[in-house]
Amino acid sequence: MLKSLRARLSVTVMFFLALSLGVLGVWLTTELRALLALVVGSILVIIYIQAVRKPLRLMAEVALGIANGDFRRRADVSGPTEIRQLARALNNMADNLERELHRVQVTAEKLQAVLGSLRDGVLLIDNRENIELINPRAAEMLGFNVEVALGKRDTLLLRHPELSELLRQARREGSACYGRILLGGQAAHHIRAAVLPLESKRMLIVLQDLTEVYTAIDIRRDFVANVSHELRTPLTSLGLMVENLLRGALDERDVAEDFLRRMAGEIERLTEMVMELLKLARLTEMVMELLKLARLESGQEKLRMSGFLAGELVQEAVSTMQGLLVSRRQKVVLEGEKGVVFSADREKLKQVFINLLDNASKFSPPGSTITIGLREHSHEVDCSVKDRGAGVLPEHLPRVYERFFKSSPSRGGGTGLGLAIVKHIIEAHGGSVYVRSKLGEGSTFGFTLPKKSEMGSI
């Protein structure tokens, strides 16, 4: 404010000086008037230059600081009107640049956080095949250092020719290209590479490590081959011995007894192998159930909500379990309101009914009836599955939905995860589970789901 007052005072002094000299010039000759005008003009120019030079110098320093990244400095708004307007414009530009830089920094931090958390590798290649961007996962897959790889062309071309060829193919064709490449020498990693051309002439490369998938495929293939070989040997022996017995060896008692003893040994061997396969199948089932439960707990399983009739879904679940129910001569009865409408993930809710039916079938005696109940209340829908088993001990009721829990070793040979999965699916829908049981009269396992208006988006 003091500087502004000083500038106004200088202009006022200049005005009065010019007025005084103008009055004086009335009594002077023409030559002296011209000389006086020249002197006065020079003085006025010098005074004006002095008034604007310092603000301009300060603005130049501020502009230079902004160019070097210092957005905290601001120009002093003082001096003549034009200088003040220029200072305000410079300060507004600095404010806008500071806000834009902050927005860019926040965006860059978010991008780095996303790229850093991805399990897939991501690279961005410019039109001269230089690496513009690479996330840590891609650097790990390709054996690069992130800082060293940025801006390098030969690194990608020389060390990974398969990927470079895929890159050139996508550039030539102008469309996405996919390929499978091997990385890592002896400990090879199977990588699925996707190269996508962008409108900016850049190329986006996404690398997905499928080593575990191909390892599982190899293990399965080897397992099938080994099992086939192990089964073929005793079956071949049994076939040859049966054929010899039919050709006449049966009439020779000593030979027949030897064949029968050997056949019994081969049958015992086959039985042991089948039992091992059953154990392996049960272990595989448990692993799959654990993976499913882990995805539910971590929130990786997204709900695909839709509306559908509860009665239709129950019939689908019963049809899926029909083989088990027929083998145990069990019957399923649907009671209640078949027209109840669910608003839920259809496939996941079907899994709930399958698990509850499987649980009821295991613990109900052969030839018994399983009852499924559907009830609609003002704010929720109630579903239940009642068995005719021995019931659950009161002290075990709070734990029946825990993973791996079995109230007694005699209660079936399942994985102990079915009811835990039911609980997580229902809770993911905003509902709750319950169990009611009386010894000797069976158990009722059920759940409640809020109606659509109360569920909102999940």
pLDDT, tens only, 60-78: 777 787 777 777 777 777 7
d(CA 260, CA 60): 107
- At 436 the pLDDT is 92
- At 14 the pLDDT is 53
- At 19 the pLDDT is 52
d(CA 368, CA 97): 77
Residue 436, SS3 per DSSP = strand
Give alpha helix (H) positions in 299-391. Answer: 310-320, 322-327, 346-363
Contact 27, 102 (CB under 8 A): no
- At 411 the pLDDT is 47
For residue 101, give Cα distances in angstroms to 61, 95, 98, 109.
20, 10, 5, 12
Contact 334, 419 (CB under 8 A): no
- At 370 the pLDDT is 93
Residue 213, SS3 per DSSP = helix
- At 254 the pLDDT is 83
What is the chain's pLDDT, residue by residue, as a tens digit (458 residues)? 444 445 554 555 555 555 555 554 544 456 565 665 666 566 655 655 655 667 777 777 777 877 777 777 777 777 667 777 877 888 888 888 888 888 888 877 777 777 777 778 888 888 777 788 888 888 888 777 766 656 555 556 567 778 888 888 888 888 888 888 887 655 677 888 889 998 888 888 888 888 777 777 777 777 777 777 777 778 888 888 888 888 877 778 888 888 888 888 888 888 777 776 766 666 566 556 666 666 666 665 677 888 888 888 999 999 988 888 888 899 999 998 878 888 888 888 998 999 899 889 988 889 899 999 999 888 889 999 999 888 888 888 888 888 777 665 444 455 667 888 888 889 888 899 999 998 888 899 999 998 763 443 33
Helix (H) or strand (E) holding 180: strand 177-183
- At 2 the pLDDT is 42
Task: Read off the tokens for 62.
Answer: 């501020």
Phi-psi region of 64 (alpha: psi -120 to 50; beta: other; left: phi over 0): alpha
Task: Read off the tokens for 87.
Answer: 């200072």
For residue 288, give Cα distances in angstroms to 227, 283, 351, 415, 418.
21, 9, 14, 10, 11
- At 445 the pLDDT is 94
- At 233 the pLDDT is 78
DSSP state string for 240-260:
HHHHHHHTTGGGSHHHHHHHH
